[in-house]
Structure 1
Amino acid sequence: MVHTVYLRLKKTVEVSSLRTLLLKDIAFIGMENEAAKKTLEDIPVYRLTKRDKNLVVLDSFLIIETLTKLMNNLDIQLIGPAQTVIRVMPKSRKKPLIAVIFIWILLFIGTSMTIMNFHYDVSMQEVQQKLHYLLTGKTNPYPLWIQIPYSIGLGIGTLLFFNHWFNKRFNEEPSPLEVEVFNYQQDLDNYLYHHENKLNDRNDSP
């Protein structure tokens, strides 16, 4: 009797140590026969070694080939991605407080310099002085009633733009930074699909 199996590879999988990957670790499985599904889930598909370093790309062809060798009565229907990226991510240690403070100060100074240089380039102080003159008819080199609200609004606008206050979100929309990181991750995964695929390694071997 032929069993139809719906297989959907996970796009990325993160593991914390070198170990044997089971089918359920890298794919979602859909099957009517629950006993056969349980057997499939526990089938080992790849053994991570030091040679793999921290990145492995498994192709669906290799996985299907492994499954059909073990069980020849399967009709495998692949749904979704054709490859899955395995990332070996050792458990991160907590960063010391002094390192966190140093990074925070570095980012604060860098951001401050960027904002100040931008305002200097666009002559923001002169613009505020002219705005004060247009509204009051008086000359004031330091129109604080404009500068203070502007500074507060700049900080609030930055928070709203990045949609974060420490670990809290203001809404469900991703921030522009998160979108850029996502696009970068997509490009990185596409590169890995072409250059780190284990199927390519097998084809290149004599």
Structure 2
Amino acid sequence: MDRTGNTVYIKIDQNVLVHKSDVHFSDIGSVECTDKTLLAKIRAMKVYSFGRHGNVVMSVLKIIEQIHGIDPKITVVNEGETDFILEYRPKAVDDWVQTLKVILICVVIFFGTAFTIAAFHNDIGITDVFGQLYTQVTGREKPAVSVLEICYSLGLAAGNLVFFNHVGRKKLTHDLTPIQVQMRKYEKDVDTAFVEEVSREDQNIDVS
């Protein structure tokens, strides 16, 4: 079949995670072409094979070279990244290990946060502040536990839920939280720095 003039559009994200050692194009990106036979061949095209778990930096030129190996007359248009990270991580078999890690992290975060809040309250003398405020408003001496402590504790918990935008697995709104936004920026900066470092050391997978 004559494919003269066929144009193939490809798009690959900056960081791609795969769980199989043999990586095909369908595992890492999306492709569009009017020729369905050619489309199937590109999706089934093997782009890389990992010997062990790890990551590599690949140039999209290498992918274009492999596509031209199918048919050199194809015009390839890249709509994604020029260099991308390909990470191979086998699927975890021992799920209990992952669960144990999550539990351990949750415990550390819980007690660390509790200690931080307690230390902050001790520094500002919040007990004295509540006592003075209660006396000024009611004219009576504050009991050990008053409505101020109860409202403050409930407000602190509610504020954290709203800030993190999560209750268990459920989100309160569809908006991204400030932490999620900062994490996305951090991940993008790390990926960009990693690609530049590997390219500088000439260890990326590129055309010869």
Decide: shared fold, TM above 0.5.
yes
The superposition leaves residues 99-131 of structure 1 with CA deviations (integer Å, 9 ceiling, x where unpaired) of: 655544333221111111111122211221121
Q: What TM-score, normalized to structure 1?
A: 0.85
Corresponding residue for residue 157 of structure 1: 159
For the structure 1 residues 98 and 68, does the alpha-carbon distance in structure 2 shift closer, same or farther, using more than 3 Å as the test? closer
Partner SS, residue 203 of structure 2: helix
Structure 1 residues without counterparts, runs of 5 or longer: none
Partner SS, residue 120 of structure 1: helix
Corresponding residue for residue 11 of structure 2: 8
Task: Determine if contact 2:14/2:83 at 8 Å carries over to the other structure.
Answer: yes
Structure 2 residues without counterparts, runs of 5 or longer: none
Root-mean-square deviation (Å) = 2.7
Q: CA deviation at 1:31?
A: 0.8
Corresponding residue for residue 126 of structure 1: 128
Q: What TM-score, normalized to structure 2?
A: 0.84
Corresponding residue for residue 186 of structure 2: 184
Corresponding residue for residue 105 of structure 1: 107
Q: 1:60 is aligned with what amino acid?
A: V
Q: What is the alpha-carbon distance in structure 2 between the residues aligned to residue 202 and residue 129 of structure 1?
A: 64
Q: What is the alpha-carbon distance in structure 2 between the residues aligned to residue 202 and residue 137 of structure 1?
A: 73
Q: What is the alpha-carbon distance in structure 2 between the residues aligned to residue 61 and residue 47 of structure 1?
A: 17
Q: 1:45 is aligned with what amino acid?
A: V
Q: What is the alpha-carbon distance in structure 1 between the residues aligned to residue 73 and residue 202 of structure 2?
A: 27
For the structure 1 residues 149 and 202, does the alpha-carbon distance in structure 2 shift closer, same or farther, using more than 3 Å as the test? closer
Q: 1:36 is aligned with what amino acid?
A: L
Q: After the TM superposition, which segments of 4 or more aligned residues of structure 1 sit over 4 Å from their partners? A: 96-103
